[in-house]
């Protein structure tokens, strides 16, 4: 059963100490205010996090949808207690509402982040850029998804504008209503991989999940006619399995503000690796074989999984690229601003 939800040999390795302690592996599929639903070999179970887990950890240490967890089962009942969370391979994070320092993890162990925006209204490039940067930051592969193609005033122009903005990230155009573009979307998600839908309320995330499922399992609601805003119809995150074997997480609409900045995002997900890096003998250690390298030592002892180290390094490179691009865009904008200022002055002079 859990194999269908992305369980792997690597996870089984990480789980070994919990298995020895008599715990059962499961994946969090629903997160609600009053508890969780977890998919285990025994089926879908209601679960609560152990008090210790909720108290010791900051908010980033609470279980979230997509997490692999260690469970104790109540005999005879369909309920369980979550005792531990396996290290997250990737995580989509944002700043917690109540605190500047604390981060909230939106979803964990995601392979693909679908950044969703709709073509029925004016596109908001700044917003989409922030969503994309947050998606890069999560460690997942971002894909920009343009929904409601059937309502687009000028599909080719909108697509070109978005492709320019998304740079190397793929852009997919869909219409859930007309069943158009769904195969192209699914091409980005291999069986056993997990994706999350991220975007504002009302862009059509739940409608898209229903179209991919071939049934109306998620609640959807019309957007307000006055201002095209969604109504925050989806209230909790939920992971479901698609007919093709991919896993998809529908989530409530989120605003792009408060998406964490790059450095904090990495820290939230890879704090264990950052602690290792800080423990290397040389502060400029390249972790490539210098004496006293804590990273190499952890890799050798098995305390740090090679895959996790690789994804940390990959994330660093991608973040640098996103930051470069942001700096370039800012510079371009400034140059354009100056040019138009200059040409405006010239026009003034010419007129005068």
Ligand X SMILES: Nc1nc2c(ncn2[C@@H]2O[C@H](COP(=O)(O)OP(=O)(O)OP(=O)(O)O)[C@@H](O)[C@H]2O)c(=O)[nH]1
In the complex, the residues that contact Mg ion under the rule CB under 5 A are 205-206, 233-234
- Which is closer to Zn ion, CB of 282 or CB of 341? 282
| 231-251: b (≥16 Cβ within 10 Å) or e | eebbeebbbbbbeeebbbbbb
Parallel, antiparallel, or unpaired: how do β-strands 171-173 and 141-147 relate? parallel
Q: Nearest approach, Cβ of 235 to ligand X (angstroms)?
A: 8
Q: Give the DSSP letter string of 187-204.
A: TT--TT-EEEEE--TTSS
* DSSP SS3 for 6: coil
Binding partner of 293, given ligand X, Mg ion, Zn ion, none, CB within 5-8 angstroms per partner class: Zn ion
Which residue in this structure is represented by tokens 């510079």? 331
> Which of Zn ion, Mg ion, ligand X, none does 295 bind, CB closer than 5 to 8 A by kind?
Zn ion
Residue 232 binding partner per list Zn ion, Mg ion, ligand X, none, with a CB distance cut-off of 5 to 8 Å that depends on partner kind: ligand X
What is the C-alpha to C-alpha distance for residues 48 and 301, in angstroms, rounded to an integer?
Answer: 33
Say if residue 6 carries a ligand binding annotation.
Answer: no
User: Rounded to whole angstroms, how far apart are CA atoms 237 and 248?
Assistant: 10
CA-based nearest residue to 68, from 3, 21, 113 = 3
CB of residue 293 to Zn ion, shortest distance in Å: 3
Binding site annotation covers 98?
A: no
Residue 72, annotated as binding a ligand: no
d(CA 170, CA 113): 11
H-helix or E-strand spanning residue 274: helix 271-279
The residue count for binding Zn ion (CB under 5 A) is 5
**202 among the known binding-site residues?**
yes
195 among annotated binding-site residues: no
Applying CB under 6 A, which of residues 169, 252, 264, 279 lies at the interface with ligand X?
Answer: 252
Selected binder of ligand X within 109, 117, 194, 234 (CB under 6 A) = 234
Candidates 220, 249, 269, 308; binder of ligand X (CB under 6 A) is: 220
- Return the number of the residue (51 or 289) whose C-beta is nearest Zn ion: 289
> Do the beta carbons of residue 239 and residue 30 sit within 8 Å?
yes
User: Cα separation of 147 and 125, whole Å?
Assistant: 15
Q: Is 175 in the site for ligand X (CB under 6 A)?
A: yes
Which residues, 268 to 327, sit near Zn ion by CB under 5 A?
A: 280, 285, 287, 293, 295
Which of 128, 185, 203, 285 binds ligand X (CB under 6 A)? It is 203
Q: Which C-beta is closer to ligand X: that of 45 or that of 211? A: 211
What number of helices (H) and strands (E) belong to the chain?
A: 10, 13
Residues of the binding site:
147-150, 199-207, 280, 285, 287, 293
Residues of the binding site for GTP:
147-150, 199-207
Q: What does the binding site for ligand X look like in residue numbers (CB under 6 A)?
A: 147-148, 150-151, 175-177, 201-207, 220-223, 230-234, 252-253
């Amino acid at each position: 059963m859990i194999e269908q939800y992305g369980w792997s040999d690597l996870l089984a390795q990480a789980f070994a100490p919990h298995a020895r302690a008599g715990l059962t592996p499961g994946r969090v599929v629903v997160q609600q205010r009053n508890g969780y639903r977890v998919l285990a070999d025994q089926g879908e179970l209601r679960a609560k996090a152990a008090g210790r887990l909720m108290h010791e950890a900051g908010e980033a240490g609470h279980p979230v949808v997509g997490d692999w967890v260690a469970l104790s089962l109540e005999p005879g009942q369909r309920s369980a207690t979550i005792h531990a969370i396996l290290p997250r391979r990737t995580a989509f994070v944002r700043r917690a509402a109540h605190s500047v320092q604390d981060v909230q993890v939106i979803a964990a162990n995601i392979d693909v982040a679908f950044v969703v925006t709709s073509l029925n209204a004016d596109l908001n490039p700044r917003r989409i850029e922030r969503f994309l940067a947050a998606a890069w930051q999560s460690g997942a592969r971002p894909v920009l998804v343009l929904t409601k193609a059937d309502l687009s005033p000028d599909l080719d122009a909108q697509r070109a504008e978005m492709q320019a903005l998304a740079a190397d990230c793929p852009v997919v155009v869909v219409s859930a209503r007309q069943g158009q573009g769904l195969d192209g979307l699914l091409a980005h998600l291999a069986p056993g991989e997990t994706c999350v839908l991220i975007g504002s309320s009302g862009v059509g995330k739940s409608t898209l999940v229903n179209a991919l499922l071939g049934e109306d399992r998620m609640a959807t609601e019309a957007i307000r006619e006055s201002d095209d805003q969604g109504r925050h119809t989806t209230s909790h995150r939920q992971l479901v399995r698609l007919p093709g074997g991919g896993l998809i997480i529908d989530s409530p609409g989120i605003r792009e503000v408060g998406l964490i900045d790059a450095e904090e995002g990495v820290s939230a997900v890879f704090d264990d690796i950052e602690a290792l890096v800080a423990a290397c003998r040389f502060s400029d250690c390249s972790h490539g074989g210098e004496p006293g390298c804590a990273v190499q030592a952890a890799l050798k002892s098995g305390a740090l999984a090679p895959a996790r180290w690789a994804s940390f390094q990959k994330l660093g490179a991608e973040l640098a690229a996103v930051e470069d691009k942001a700096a370039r865009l800012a510079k371009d904008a400034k140059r354009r601003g100056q040019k138009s200022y200059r040409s405006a002055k010239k026009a003034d002079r010419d007129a005068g």
